[in-house]
């Protein structure tokens, strides 16, 4: 009797296995399966902050303007053209006509006004559908006016240079007001935009499916559907890619890059972007108050080795606070601090900081954080070599932010940090100015303060001329490089792997994922 049961069981498991054999993983034709790094939070562009969510949104929505492919420069999107008043305080956009949202409602100036008022006007009837964490991108806008059905105007009190590039950022994507009115807070799960793909289905932790928008104003998309699958575990993403369960994955773990680049069934895509991986140093207290020690840290850390080995060349060595991807604002005269432990030791000695113990906040992961634990550990080892004892405390990302953003004072000497921005203004303005210290609502957690830098940044912000701004930023970079309030470590080269049958795909410097032109054989 027992034996019979066993036989039945064996048979069953065999059947199941052979069943598995027949269902060989293969994604359907004309459908692109993209592995995301996490479950999206929402598909309401005004409420999200993560690159992970932007990757989907960019294909569902359009903004008034967008980045020209391969650059960080803006080009017309839903707005055909725009004019800026001479004082730089009034922007007037004329909109493309005849465009409809996926839900059938028309796109017009009212819709644009609705979008910005929702974020910016406190007593707007749909302000409740927030919060809108990135609304400060547009906080300079004091008023949005509908000039006529296809003309909309923004008015500001002071000139604000980054506005256009902020409008190209996903926070500026235009959502259908009708959808917001209909779904209220739940619009994040029922999105309607104007983009090349329209929303079909979202199953928690399984997939978000987008279908081709048959009447896209900029030409039909190349794929019938796109499936975004959240696969949080990098290893599983790799396994899925290797077993053919997905067509595309982003953020390939550095050590797996070689696996794909050496295999002709896959195509590896790389693109440097406006990203900086750095260490915030605490200038308020402890040995790092001394500029020599800060410079010593910059000398002591073998950035080349980190980038080559830990990150497997998925990043380049950073030279200063501004990533090279902002080519117009980047000061290419600056050289990264060379790896020079001897000099570092000398500087530390000169500052009398030998044998100092430094507390180092390391995160376990987070947006743009590039293997933070191994990086932190390697840095710890480098600093040990010049006689500094580093004590690592690791925190999960949100706790980490909760500890770092209010300032390092009294807690730590250094903290890992990474920023991806869309404008050369953003990072220094939010994290290097004196008036950006945490107690004033900024992100200058290391309390760097240099009046010269403050002055340069203020000027650049109100200037409407890119050339003027470029000069100001270059000067700022020189000063910050020397002051070394941070350790500048790496600029990420974003990567993605696709099956070799995926055509017309390229990564953008904006780190956004555009699938409009992509097709699959």
Partner 1 sequence: MVEKNTPALEFWQRLNRNRLSTVGLLMLGLIFVLCLITPWLPLPDPDATDLANRLKTPLTSNHLLGTDELGRDLLSRLLWGTRVSLVVGFVATLAAALVGSLIGLVSGYFQGWIDSGLMRGVDTLMAFPYMLLALAIVAAFGPGLLNALFAIAIVNVPFFARTVRGATISLVQREFVLAARLGGASHFGVLWRELLPNILPVIVVTISTTAGWMILETAGLSFLGLGAQPPTADLGSMLGEGRKLLFTAPHVSTLPGLVILILVISLNLLGDGVRDVLDPRLRGGALRSPQPRTEVLSAELGSAQVRSTEKLVIRNLTTELFQQGQAKPLVRNVDFELRPGECLGLVGESGCGKSVTALSLAALAASPPLRIASGTVELDGEDILRLPLRLLQDIRGKRVSYIFQDPLTTLNPVLTIGEQLIQVIRRHQSLSSRASYTEALHLLSRVRIPSPETRMKAYPHQLSGGMRQRVCIAIALANRPEVLIADEPTTALDVTIQAEILSLLNDLRKTTLKDSQTGKKTGLSVLFITHDLGVVSTICEKVAVMYAGQIVEFGETKSILESPQHPYTQALLACTPRLGAKHKVLGGIPGTPPPPGSYPSGCGFLDRCKVASVKCQDPVHLMQLSSNRQVRCVLKQGANA
Partner 2 sequence: MLRYTIHRLLLTIPVLVGISVVVFLIMALIPGDPATAILGAFATPENATKLRAELGLDRPLIEQYFTWAGNLLSGDFGRSYALNRPVLDELLERLGPTLLLAGSAMCVCVLLGLIAGLLAAVKQYTWVDQGLTLFTLIGISAPSFWLGLMAVSLFTVQLGWLPASGMYTPYGDESLGDLLVHLLMPAVTLGLVASSVIARLTRTSMLEQLRQDYVRTARAKGERETAVVIRHAFRNALVGLIPVLGLQAGFVLGGAVYIETVFQWPGIGRMLVNAISTRDILLVQGGVMMVATIYVFFNLLADLIQHALDPRIQHSHG
Asked if 261 touches partner 1 (CB under 8 A), the answer is: no
SS3 label, residue 66: strand
Q: Which of 88, 85, 64, 83 is nearest to 74 (CA)?
A: 64
Asked if 25 touches partner 1 (CB under 8 A), the answer is: no
Give the residue, chosen from 10, 11, 25, 468, that forms a contact with partner 2 under the rule CB under 8 A.
25
Burial of 278 (0-12, 13-18, 19+ CB in 10 A): buried
Asked if 359 touches partner 1 (CB under 8 A), the answer is: no
From residue 27 to residue 46, the character string flagging contacts with partner 2 as x (rule: CB under 8 A) and all else as - is: xx--x-x----xx-xx-x--
Q: How many CA atoms lie within 13 A of 135 on its CB side?
A: 20
Asked if 216 touches partner 2 (CB under 8 A), the answer is: no
Asked if 119 touches partner 1 (CB under 8 A), the answer is: no
Which is nearer to partner 2, 105 or 259 (by Cβ)? 259
From residue 397 to residue 436, the character string flagging contacts with partner 2 as x (rule: CB under 8 A) and all else as - is: xxx-xxx-xx------------x-----------------
Asked if 203 touches partner 2 (CB under 8 A), the answer is: yes
For partner 1, which stretch binds (CB under 8 A), given 24-32, 303-311, 341-349, 443-451? 303-311
Among partner 1, partner 2, none, what binds residue 378 when CB lies within 5 to 8 Å by partner kind?
partner 1
- Considering the complex, what minimum distance in angstroms separates the CB of residue 26 from partner 1? 20
- Considering the complex, what minimum distance in angstroms separates the CB of residue 144 from partner 2? 22
Quote the CA–CA distance of 54 and 134 in Å, as a whole number: 13
Q: What are phi and psi of 12, to 5 degrees?
A: -60, -50
Give the residue, chosen from 151, 313, 377, 464, that forms a contact with partner 1 under the rule CB under 8 A.
377
Q: Looking at the DSSP assignment, which residues form a beta bridge with residue 143?
A: 155
3-state secondary structure 258-320: HHHHCCCCEEEEEEECCEEEEEEECCCCCHHHCHHHHHHHHHHCCHHHHHHHHCCCCEEECCC
Among partner 2, partner 1, none, what binds residue 259 when CB lies within 5 to 8 Å by partner kind?
partner 1
The count of other CB atoms within 10 Å of the CB of residue 464 is 15
Which is nearer to partner 1, 88 or 253 (by Cβ)? 253
SS3 label, residue 410: coil
- Considering the complex, what minimum distance in angstroms separates the CB of residue 235 from partner 1? 5
Give the helix, strand, coil percentages of the chain, each rounded to 5. Answer: 35, 25, 40
Q: DSSP letter at 100? A: B
The residues of the shown chain that bind partner 1, judged by CB under 8 A, are 234-235, 238-239, 242, 253, 255-256, 258-259, 302, 305-306, 308-310, 362, 364, 373-374, 376-378, 380-382, 392-396, 399
């Amino acid at each position: 009797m027992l034996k019979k049961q066993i036989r039945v069981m064996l048979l069953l498991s065999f059947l199941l296995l052979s069943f598995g054999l027949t269902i060989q993983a293969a994604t359907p034709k004309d459908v692109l399966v993209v592995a995301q790094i996490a479950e999206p939070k929402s598909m309401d562009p005004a409420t999200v902050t993560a690159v992970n969510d932007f990757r989907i949104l960019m294909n569902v929505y359009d903004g008034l303007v967008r980045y020209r492919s391969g650059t960080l420069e803006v080009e017309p999107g839903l707005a055909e053209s725009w004019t800026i008043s001479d004082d730089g305080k009034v922007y007037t956009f004329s909109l493309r006509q005849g465009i409809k949202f996926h839900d059938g409602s028309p796109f017009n100036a009212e819709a644009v006004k609705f979008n910005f008022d929702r974020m910016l006007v406190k007593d707007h009837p749909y302000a409740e559908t927030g919060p809108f964490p990135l609304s400060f991108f547009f906080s300079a806008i004091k008023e949005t006016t509908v000039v006529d059905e296809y003309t909309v105007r923004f008015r500001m009190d002071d000139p604000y240079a980054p506005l256009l590039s902020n409008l190209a950022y996903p926070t500026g994507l235009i959502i259908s007001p009708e959808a917001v009115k209909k779904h209220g807070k739940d619009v994040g799960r029922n999105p309607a935009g104007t983009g090349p793909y329209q929303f079909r289905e979202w199953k928690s932790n399984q997939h978000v499916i987008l279908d081709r928008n048959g009447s896209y104003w900029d030409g039909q998309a190349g794929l019938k559907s796109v499936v975004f699958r959240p696969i949080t575990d990098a290893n599983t993403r790799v396994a899925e890619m290797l077993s053919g369960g997905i067509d595309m994955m982003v953020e390939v773990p550095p050590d797996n890059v070689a696996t794909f680049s050496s295999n002709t069934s896959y195509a590896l895509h790389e693109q440097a972007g406006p990203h900086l991986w750095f260490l915030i140093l605490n200038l308020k207290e402890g040995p790092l108050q001394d500029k020599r020690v800060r410079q010593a840290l910059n000398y002591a850390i073998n950035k080349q080795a980190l980038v080559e080995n830990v990150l497997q060349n998925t990043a380049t060595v950073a030279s200063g606070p501004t990533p090279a991807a902002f080519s117009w604002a980047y000061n290419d005269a600056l050289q990264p601090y060379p790896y020079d432990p001897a000099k570092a030791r000398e500087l530390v000695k000169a500052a009398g900081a030998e044998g100092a113990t430094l507390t180092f906040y390391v995160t376990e992961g987070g947006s743009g954080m590039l293997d933070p634990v191994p990086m932190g550990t390697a840095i710890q080892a480098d600093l040990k070599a010049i006689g500094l004892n580093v004590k690592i405390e690791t925190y999960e990302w949100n706790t980490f932010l909760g500890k770092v953003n209010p300032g390092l004072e009294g807690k730590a000497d250094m903290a890992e940090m990474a920023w991806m921005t869309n404008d050369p203004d953003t990072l220094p303005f939010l994290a290097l100015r004196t008036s950006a210290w945490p107690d004033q609502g900024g992100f200058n957690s290391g309390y760097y303060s240099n009046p010269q830098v403050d002055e340069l940044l203020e000027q650049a912000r109100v200037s409407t001329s890119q050339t003027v701004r470029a000069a100001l930023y270059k000067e700022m970079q020189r000063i910050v490089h020397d002051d070394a309030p941070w350790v500048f470590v790496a600029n990420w080269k974003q990567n993605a792997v696709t099956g070799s049958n995926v055509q017309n795909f390229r990564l953008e410097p904006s780190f956004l994922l555009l699938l409009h032109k992509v097709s699959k054989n």
